[in-house]
Amino acid sequence: MQHQQPPPADTRTRVLDAAEAIVQARGVPALTLDATARAAGVSKGGLLYHFGSKEALVEGLMARLSEFVAAQFEAAFGATPAGPAHTARALLAWEFDSDYASDARINRACAVFLLAFNHDPALLDPIRAVFDGIRARLRQDGLPPGHGQAIMAACDGLFMAHLFRMYTPDMAEKNALRQALETLL
């Protein structure tokens, strides 16, 4: 029985993967079209066929990140039993059941956030739209004013602490924080 190799990633995906890896490993200043083309194993012309400029490349990264974040939240929402405070409970599950330390995709997403903000904060608009949608759902969650927003702000704060490598709460701290936030439900 012969094992078949999985098909190689399409060029666009390879370029996006390479750009994320460069920013994650070497920082925002290291991202150039030449470096990305080399890392993706394509010619600069091949890269420019898919992304006509560095800004277009960053836009592509943000579009992919936004799709990833939306899918991650929808998966948490779908796995959370329906009922009162459904969106807030899904946010808690999404945040507290994630393992940032071992999830390479989340860590690469952090790099894209920093890249987009550094390049042009307006490039964050696709991800802002995702979070605006979550906030709109929170307003329909049936919680007292401010409760859902407090849960979202705490979850965002934990993500930002990871993004900027400010601190990593241990399991006891995370459990205590989750319990405190659950009192808002």
> 151 and 113 in one domain?
yes
Question: Does some domain include residue 1?
Answer: no
Q: What is the C-alpha to C-alpha distance for residues 13 and 30, in angstroms, rounded to an integer?
A: 19
> 70 and 27 in one domain?
no
Question: Does some domain include residue 2?
Answer: no
pLDDT at residue 94, as a whole number: 95
pLDDT at residue 101, as a whole number: 65
Question: Does some domain include residue 80?
Answer: yes
pLDDT at residue 1, as a whole number: 47
pLDDT at residue 90, as a whole number: 98
> 105 and 22 in one domain?
no
> 107 and 163 in one domain?
yes
> 16 and 92 in one domain?
no
> 149 and 82 in one domain?
yes
Which range of residues forms the domain containing residue 101? 61-182
pLDDT at residue 162, as a whole number: 86
The torsion angles phi and psi of 102, rounded to 5 degrees, stand at -110, 0
pLDDT at residue 6, as a whole number: 44
pLDDT at residue 104, as a whole number: 82
Count of domains observed in the chain: 2
> 175 and 114 in one domain?
yes
pLDDT at residue 70, as a whole number: 96
pLDDT digits (tens, 9 = 90+) for 65-119: 999 999 999 999 999 999 999 999 999 999 999 877 667 888 888 889 889 998 8
pLDDT at residue 182, as a whole number: 98
The domain that holds 42 is classified in CATH as 1.10.10.60
> 77 and 34 in one domain?
no
> 127 and 80 in one domain?
yes
Mean pLDDT by 10 residues, the chain (185 residues): 55 95 92 98 96 96 94 96 97 90 79 89 95 97 96 94 88 96 98
pLDDT at residue 58, as a whole number: 95
